[in-house]
Structure 1
């Protein structure tokens, strides 16, 4: 756990000054609180001798002043720590999103979207809570216990020894709790991710579930997953409750024994009444952090588990990156010649006995030429198209555009040269305009963007968009499900056209269209390509 937590330092470095001030405020508040019992000792010892009203009022004023200082320092702790921790939370979340965006498609093929979502949301929340509260309180409580135990020894070494003896089983129990709770915490957070994946799949596939009447079956499966998570959470709560029981019982037992011994020592004159009062006031302050140990350990384990899950993604190597010294390519001068030589490819999860999806493919497509790939289902047509923009990397062979190996190009430049219209049209919950112009040159003027939008919609026979309630500014809903399959495909095709690529890759983007509309789109597309 300590190794994982140490990696958090690089993340909190931008706020290290404010975090340090928060820690300093918290530790100072703890020390100020421990000074109050010392004043109490002074007052109690004076009560039985030459105490005057001025002495008592002065002591009371000091206690009041210390209380005000402690409250102010606690306010400063929260001010210094909470706001910066939300900044770190945002930075972690943004860097995670950026990493997910850059990781290759092969990574996403093996990960459930819910697992990524739970890491981005709930796990990062756990990390933020640890930075803002848990980490500061852990350090503060450690200072309270160390300084408090020192003061206990000063009051009475014999009574302090009772607390030291009680600390032995506390340490053993805490160690065992940490080991067992780590397993439960990991299981719980993984189950949360699985549950999020199920929810997302059910929402996206709600039409299929309703059409086939499989809602009850889906509900049963979800209920079983939710029950597994509930059982895990109950086990976590039980573990914390059992641990807290010992954290309350052992210090209370130590206080009880200390009371009996302390009364005997006071009666025999070995310690003063003020020392006894100071001892118990200090011990009460020390017991508080001990009682919090269960909560802080649980929070630390949850944060450590969240960090482990976070770094599982962040440490994943991105295998599809731009070369260190890319070949310069001018997209404006590209002609779109595509050349494939002896291309081999197989998916990473393919069984050993299954051959390559693409086994020695050779293609030579000249500028302005249109080539159709025909083959049985599963023959690798879609796979081949995805290799050109390097959504996947070939295992061997060569793919070149205008005589330059695509692996020698800057990745952003390569994907400026290419655009893909997939059969499974994916649209975003945004306006028609923003969906279609997603890949367009951002430097276009407003009028140029409008002209390009109209050209793309007309070519894809998607001018129906102008008749939507808000025209091309109509938001089309998540996944574009407010549109028909054919309408979604035409918008996806318009998006590829609007990118004005040198190489246009069409993965059967007209499969949902009727014959007449397909002929219209094909004819207009041919005009644009010419």
Structure 2
């Protein structure tokens, strides 16, 4: 038991508290199971010695009936023990999985920037399933087997201490082998879990990016890389199999030798007329040795299952104990914003000492539409991320309606800000559910009315099943422009106080462009809007244009004002990117 982390096991056992009654019953069934199982050989001894040798058919029949009843009780105890142990395990992992998922959804975006998706999927699915095995095949089975062994040893000592002594001489060999096996298997299981995580991560990324793999003819290269990872996974499991292949034959060999010694010694005593040993003893010990040694060798196997469960639990608790949440200490509930936004000397860095924003000062009036332009990496999208509190600023302050955004509750803050991104993410669900996101306050009638207002109703109704059309994973059944229209509608029905369009019009097709321009006008009307875009119409019509370069605001003004600045950033940007579109 030394190889098992008691700290991690204690954390897992903490989750049994809501199910204490069921936990106690599992222990009760384990005790009854050991008593019923151990009593059968003892009854067999008396059947042989008292009734078979004396040719007492009536007594023989009675004891056979008694053994049948005991066997039935043992079966019932086995059923309830197994069912309740598994039931308990499944309820516990349900609770842990719920807690883990809620914890993951509260992480800062920085956490997801650094952690592979495949790893999180492994922790949330297969690792948690391994935790269930602690209860279904590990801990309770070990407790049951140890109880059974103790009861059996007690019965054996009571029946014939000489024969029991032979058994006790063999047990240290098996215990020693079990201890070595257990330690080796912990290392092997740890390696298996690492390789499973690597495998999941690789497959997840390649399937998600399959278009890139095929577009750049990387199929063979990626297949070779997969083969290397798969081979490491294979080797990890082969080491596991090797240890099993060595241990179990050794355990069987020791068990068989012990049984042979019992038959030889006990048989010799009977032939010599020793009254302390009987034929009933030999019959009983044949069963008792198997019942004693089988749990002992299986305990090693169950320890392995438990090891895997504990290792999986350690990985899950590592995420559960990761403190990467945005601090949600605000107590002001944002009912509706007027829309005034202030950034006061805001500094921010994704990587320490590598500032992305270098003292940004910006004021946006209620209802104003501003556009932010600049080269890639200038810090445009970073401002949007900070406004939604996906990341924490290094210094300075961001305020909405003259209140620090940290003073608002996180939920109400984000509820009043709608974001339409360039890369629209849609779930494998209906268009309606992708728009409402299962918000019960938004009805289908409201969605249809909103779609008609921004001009996308006809497009949706042209699809099979209309609003109930399933867009499949990531919305692959729709074009990029169509996905963008769904994102605009999703933002509109949320009725935000502040609207953010982050490159939301840069990847649309000709068919969708007119509808998106119309949708943009409807969405931005009467609400504070921040637009990061290259579309000329959006930029020109903005009340104010903010020009950023290398994490700083270098110019500010409307379209005409900025064009008057000689050799200005915006003027150069306009001439390079927008003059052709104007022509």
TM-score by length of 2: 0.83
Question: Separation in 2 of the partners of 1:511 and 1:49?
Answer: 95
Shift of 1:25: 1.9
Say yes or no: does 1:224 pair with 2:228: yes
Question: Separation in 1 of the partners of 2:448 and 2:270?
Answer: 91
Aligned residues of 2:133 and 2:306 also touching (Cα < 8 A): no
Shift of 1:398: 0.7
Q: Tell me the residue number matched to 1:151.
A: 155
- Structure 1 residues 524 and 141, CA, compared in 2 at 3 Å: closer, same or farther? closer
Which of 1 and 2 has greater Rg? Answer: 2
Q: Tell me the residue number matched to 2:348.
A: 345
Aligned residues of 2:420 and 2:502 also touching (Cα < 8 A): yes
What are the within-5 Å matches in structure 2 for residues 115-134 of structure 1?
115-134=119-138
- Structure 1 residues 294 and 360, CA, compared in 2 at 3 Å: closer, same or farther? same
Shift of 1:401: 0.9
- Structure 1 residues 336 and 463, CA, compared in 2 at 3 Å: closer, same or farther? farther
What are the within-5 Å matches in structure 2 for residues 278-317 of structure 1?
278-317=284-323
Question: Separation in 1 of the partners of 2:509 and 2:100?
Answer: 42
SS of equivalent to 1:371: strand
Q: Please, which moves more after superposition, 411-420 or 119-128?
A: 119-128
Aligned equivalent of 2:506, options 497, 505, 511? 511
- Structure 1 residues 453 and 434, CA, compared in 2 at 3 Å: closer, same or farther? farther
Question: Separation in 1 of the partners of 2:334 and 2:327?
Answer: 19
**Structure 1 residue runs of 4 or more that deviate by more than 6 Å after TM superposition:** none
Say yes or no: does 1:474 pair with 2:466: no
Q: Tell me the residue number matched to 1:54.
A: 58
Listed one character per residue, the Cα deviations across residues 163-201 of structure 1 (whole Å, up to 9, x for unaligned) are 333222333332322222222212212221221222222
Aligned residues of 1:462 and 1:490 also touching (Cα < 8 A): no
Aligned equivalent of 2:449, options 448, 451, 467? 451
What are the within-5 Å matches in structure 2 for residues 174-185 of structure 1?
174-185=178-189
Q: How many residues align?
A: 519
Q: Tell me the residue number matched to 2:87.
A: 83
Question: Separation in 1 of the partners of 2:364 and 2:53?
Answer: 106
Question: Separation in 1 of the partners of 2:405 and 2:334?
Answer: 14
Question: Separation in 2 of the partners of 1:184 and 1:66?
Answer: 41
Aligned residues of 1:462 and 1:487 also touching (Cα < 8 A): no
Aligned residues of 1:155 and 1:279 also touching (Cα < 8 A): no
Say yes or no: does 1:409 pair with 2:404: no
What are the within-5 Å matches in structure 2 for residues 188-227 of structure 1?
188-227=192-231
- Structure 1 residues 401 and 279, CA, compared in 2 at 3 Å: closer, same or farther? same
Q: Please, which moves more after superposition, 175-184 or 41-50?
A: 41-50
Q: Please, which moves more after superposition, 291-300 or 516-525?
A: 516-525
Aligned residues of 1:462 and 1:494 also touching (Cα < 8 A): no
Question: Separation in 2 of the partners of 1:153 and 1:525?
Answer: 87
Aligned residues of 1:151 and 1:282 also touching (Cα < 8 A): no
Aligned equivalent of 1:271, options 251, 276, 296? 276
Gaps of 5+ in 2: 526-583
Shift of 1:402: 1.0
Aligned equivalent of 2:485, options 460, 476, 490? 490
Q: Please, which moves more after superposition, 131-140 or 254-263?
A: 254-263
RMSD: 2.3
TM-score by length of 1: 0.91
What are the within-5 Å matches in structure 2 for residues 304-383 of structure 1?
304-323=310-329, 326-332=330-336, 334-347=337-350, 350=351, 355-383=354-382
Listed one character per residue, the Cα deviations across residues 322-370 of structure 1 (whole Å, up to 9, x for unaligned) are 10xx3423423x11111111111111xx3x6x62111211111111112
Aligned residues of 1:385 and 1:505 also touching (Cα < 8 A): yes
SS of equivalent to 1:339: strand
Q: Tell me the residue number matched to 2:421.
A: 422
What are the within-5 Å matches in structure 2 for residues 103-122 of structure 1?
103-122=107-126
Question: Separation in 2 of the partners of 1:22 and 1:123?
Answer: 24
SS of equivalent to 1:199: helix
Aligned residues of 1:431 and 1:473 also touching (Cα < 8 A): yes
